[in-house]
Chains A and B, each alone.
Chain A
Amino acid sequence: MRKHILTHWGHLHVGCPVCTIIPSHMLRHLAQHGPDNLRERMLQTLQHSERLRGQRDMLAYLGAVALATPTGTRRRTIYDLAHGTRLPGKRVRGEGDPRSKDRQVNEAYDFSGATYDFFKQVFERNSVDGNGMRLDSSVHYSFDYDNAFWNGAQMVYGDGDGVIFERFTKSLEVVGHELTHGVTQFEAALAYHDQPGALNESFSDVFGALTKQWKLKQTADKADWLIGAGLLAKGVNGVAIRSMKAPGTAYDDPRLGKDPQPAQMKDYFKGSADNGGVHINSGIPNHAFYLVASTLGGNAWDRAGRIWYDTLTNMIGPNTTFKQAANATVRSAGVLFGSGSKEQKAVTSAWKQVGVIK
């Protein structure tokens, strides 16, 4: 319980600042008895203000309230851009609405729901911001658009050109990847270039892959560890966009080139393209995560995922390098599972294998 509360601290800075003028006894009452939509905010504000005052004994109390307080619900909305680019587009499906006839709309709805559920049930995180933020997705962006992105407030998906790429809503891990960019934005806020950018990308791949594994109830040894499986159109020589298990092997096609991801620091991409190789060098931390998960076995989200989540939410910041992130995961593994635990040893060994630490 204590641990649960602690893991929530990373996002408290996004709480409502105005709420801090409300006396804490009132907040406490609202947190316990207020309307659903207010309760969680009050609880978080309470945690925030109590932390500021350094009242440690309040933590246990707040922990109990957190358990007793039903936390947030999913609030998904899907918009159809009909090939335009002006966001968000026309609202076509809201939370609880019946299925659409449009496949992209349903995929964006179902997969953002699965991602919400994953973060909620595994890490007790209430949405992207930890505070029940709405999940907005726009589909059919532009024409033949070979991409998906997070614009800082919502997800956006292209249909793909149909020749090289299929629609970007097709893979659950792609949706999980985009939403995790939101989580990162509210937590470590990793800068989007060079090593912090590659870490930003890697956290999105890690939690995208974990969302899929959790949804499919796959243990680490049963998972494919692919990112964007099924995204490449028929006739393209490849299985996915990236492979965490074997970076650099996802595709090799004359029109796409060869998967450029390294698995090792010695093959680090030093070019300026792709914001200093954020989608390229992410292969290195991706592979480190895979090594930890496969060494530990079982469900990757239980231990490896827990360490990575704690690192993202509590241990690192905007300019964190690979080496700093590696050391942070080692520290986190020690805090969560004990110094010298097999979890911590697996983490240290993984980063050594990819050449980030010695």
Chain B
Amino acid sequence: MRITLTRSGGFAGILPPPVTLDTAALPRGVARHIEELVASADFFNLPDTLAAPTRQPDRLQFTVRIVNDDGREHTVTCDEEVASEPLLELVRTVQKATRK
């Protein structure tokens, strides 16, 4: 499973380069955690856009693209305020795993 994460907004308003990871290259435990989060976020059934009705100042926005090993892929752009806890945890985990 390959995951690409793009972040924008937040107090810093930064547009850092997107980060990508392949769960095959991760320690087994981390990979399994990510797969579980993708499942519990019901990622492949989420709409393309999850937008907050009114944005709270300085909140983050992120775009997650996942390509499964079977070729299935999906991209979700989400405002932090309306993200589910598993989706937020997925973003945190990808960020941590890709941090240099």
Contacts and interface: CB of A to CB of B under 8 A. Distances in A.
Contact of A279 (B12, B16, B17): B12
B79 to A, nearest CB: 9
A147 B10 contact: yes
A168 B61 CA distance: 18
Interface string A157-183: 000010101001000001001100100
B88 interface: yes
Interface in B21-62: 54-61
B58 A178 contact: yes
A163 B11 contact: no
B88 A278 contact: no
B42 to A, nearest CB: 19
Contacts of A114: none
Contacts of A37: none
A228 interface: yes
Given A147-B58, A204-B57, A273-B8, A255 B16 contact: yes
A85 B88 contact: yes
B72 interface: no
Nearest to A153: B56
Contacts of A181: 57-58
Contacts of A241: 11-14
Interface stretch (A28-36, A38-46, A125-133, A138-146): A138-146
B6 to A, nearest CB: 8
The interface size bin for chain B is 20 to 34
Contact of B57 (A85, A150, A165, A273): A150
A278 B15 CA distance: 12
Contacts of A9: none
B72 to A, nearest CB: 26
A200 interface: yes
Contacts of B96: 144
B62 to A, nearest CB: 11
A165 B54 CA distance: 27
Interface in A106-150: 142-144, 146-150
A157 to B, nearest CB: 10
Contact of B92 (A144, A150, A275): A144
Nearest to A232: B12
A260 interface: yes
A255 B18 CA distance: 10
A279 B13 contact: yes
A352 interface: no
Contact of A148 (B8, B58, B61, B88): B58
Given A149-B56, A161-B99, A181-B58, A174 B11 contact: yes
Interface string A204-240: 1000000000000000000000001001000000000
B86 interface: no
A204 B10 CA distance: 13
Given A257-B15, A274-B15, A279 B56 contact: no
B29 to A, nearest CB: 17
Contact of A149 (B11, B16, B17, B95): B11
Contact of B16 (A147, A151, A257): A257
Contacts of A303: none
A193 interface: yes
A142 B10 CA distance: 14
Given A147-B11, A257-B17, A192 B99 contact: no
A300 B78 CA distance: 39
A335 to B, nearest CB: 28
5 pairs of A and B residues whose beta carbons are closest in the complex = A279-B13, A149-B58, A181-B57, A273-B8, A147-B10
Given A152-B56, A178-B11, 15 more contacts: A143-B92, A149-B57, A150-B57, A192-B54, A231-B12, A241-B13, A255-B16, A255-B100, A273-B15, A273-B61, A274-B13, A275-B9, A279-B12, A279-B13, A282-B13
12 contacts: A144-B92, A149-B58, A150-B57, A178-B57, A228-B11, A242-B13, A255-B16, A255-B17, A260-B14, A273-B15, A278-B9, A279-B10
